[in-house]
Amino acid sequence: MLSPSCQLLERNLDLFENQKWGVVNPDDSNVFSLSKDFQCGLHYDYRSYTSSQYFVDTQQTFSAHWQQSDVSEQLSGFIIFMPKVKQLLPMMLANVVHISEQNSKIIVVGENAGGIKSAKSIMENMLHNVVKADTARRCSLFIGITPKSAVHIEQPVFKKQIVNINGISLTTSSLPGVFGHKQLDPATKILLEQIPSDFAHKSMRTGYDFACGSGILGAYLSTLYPCLSMTYSDVDALALASTERTLYDNELKGDVAASDGFLKSANNLDIIVTNPPFHNKLKNDYAITQTFIRDAHERLNRNGVMYLVANKFLPYQESLKEKFSHVEVPYADNKFIVYVARKN
């Protein structure tokens, strides 16, 4: 069954006939089945990107932004699916305006629960003649026209922060929509403070930062242990771009790649760090992290260790104890809990 936003688009297919459209941040890859006129897609979510590969006559891109070279033909307009973080919408609009012709149509569609009602005022800052074209399925669809002149940006704008942990200063860079974008989130700060810097861990050689976000956890480890070879993974293109910029800003190296779990090449690990997500779009979803916990035991070397922080209500302790014989809780308060799981 199509997502509610796609059902609203389906009601309005006459808007798209005999034109060529790009689709940004779709919440359902089946949007490309609605019309042959939906010719290319920009995906922030790696799972959406991979599922859209089924539509072989379309051009799909997994990236934090579209460049002109990513769009093989000039498009009549763009359909943007409202992001769950509304502060991301101006960046999305600026990106498509930059690669659009004058007087191109820009459509923003989304669910009421996802903040679509705020889209009109944001669109009016960059587009002309913004109107609500339809509403149904608890969703709304807005249309605007690209102006003759606008503020164009080719690259996303990163927000930088200076983070000081245990005497170590790091610069983090992040895009809107990335976890901890406005400030270092308290759970990540707590986990950083629990990572030891004692001599016993100096022999570590391989590390993995799962759901890396801005990359702060892995960057901190790499600073503590310069010989550590770090791998960073996330399903979010915005997070991966942020991690790459964080590494660049701190003159660090690491392998950064898309994955909703372990990369196939990630084996023989000495340390894993993670502040895993528990939302999939607007719903709680624990399955990815629970699968990751089960897989972590197999990927760690003997005496390898995993540091995981989570909201206290999340059901991860049982999953950890099922796979690891040694699980410690060095920190817990009324909101967060830190687990340290060792492989014997």
**Nearest Cα to 259, choosing from 306, 307, 209?**
209
pLDDT of residue 201: 57
320 and 183: one domain?
A: yes
Strands 168-174 and 326-332: unpaired
Torsion angle of the four alpha carbons 9, 138, 61, 20, in this order, in degrees rounded to the nearest 10: 20
- When divided into structural domains, the chain yields a total of 2
Tell me which residue range forms the domain holding 242.
159-342
Is residue 249 situated within a structural domain?
A: yes
Write out the two tokens for 155. 């690259």
9 and 122: one domain?
A: yes
Is residue 152 situated within a structural domain?
A: no
- Centroid of chain to Cα 78: 21
Instruction: Write down which residue in 145, 169, 191 finishes a domain.
Output: 145
Q: Are 240 and 257 in contact (CB under 8 A)?
A: yes
- Give residues with Cβ within 8 angstroms of 178, minimum separation 6: 213, 214, 236, 238, 239, 242
Query: Which CATH number covers residue 57?
Result: 3.40.50.150
Expressed in percent and rounded to 5, the helix, strand and coil fractions of the chain are 30, 30, 40
CA separation for the pair 194, 302 (Å, rounded): 21
CA separation for the pair 235, 84 (Å, rounded): 15
Is residue 151 situated within a structural domain?
A: no
Q: How far from 64 is each of 121, 181, 230, 299, 338, CA to CA, in Å?
A: 23, 15, 22, 29, 31
155 burial (CB, 10 Å; 0-12 / 13-18 / 19+) is exposed
CA separation for the pair 229, 206 (Å, rounded): 5
167 and 27: one domain?
A: no
Is residue 256 situated within a structural domain?
A: yes
Cα torsion 54, 241, 174, 287: sign: positive
Is residue 154 situated within a structural domain?
A: no
206 and 119: one domain?
A: no
Instruction: Write down which residue in 114, 145, 176 finishes a domain.
Output: 145
133 burial (CB, 10 Å; 0-12 / 13-18 / 19+) is middle
pLDDT of residue 199: 45
Residue 143: beta bridge partners? 107, 131
127 and 220: one domain?
A: no
Is residue 150 situated within a structural domain?
A: no
39 and 141: one domain?
A: yes
308 and 333: one domain?
A: yes
176 and 109: one domain?
A: no
Write out the two tokens for 270. 């000495």
Q: Terminal CA-to-CA distance of the chain, rounded, Å? A: 46
Question: At which residue do the structure tokens 């498509």 appear?
Answer: 96
Across the chain, which distance is largest between two alpha carbons, in Å?
67
98 and 208: one domain?
A: no
Provide block-wise average pLDDT over 10 residues at a time, the chain (344 residues). 96 93 96 94 96 90 88 88 94 92 94 95 95 96 85 71 94 93 93 80 85 96 93 97 98 96 90 83 70 92 94 90 94 96 92
DSSP state of 44: S
pTM greater than 0.85: yes
pLDDT of residue 149: 64
Task: Let me know the angle formed at the C-alpha of 262 by 258 and 264, rounded to the nearest 5 degrees.
Answer: 90
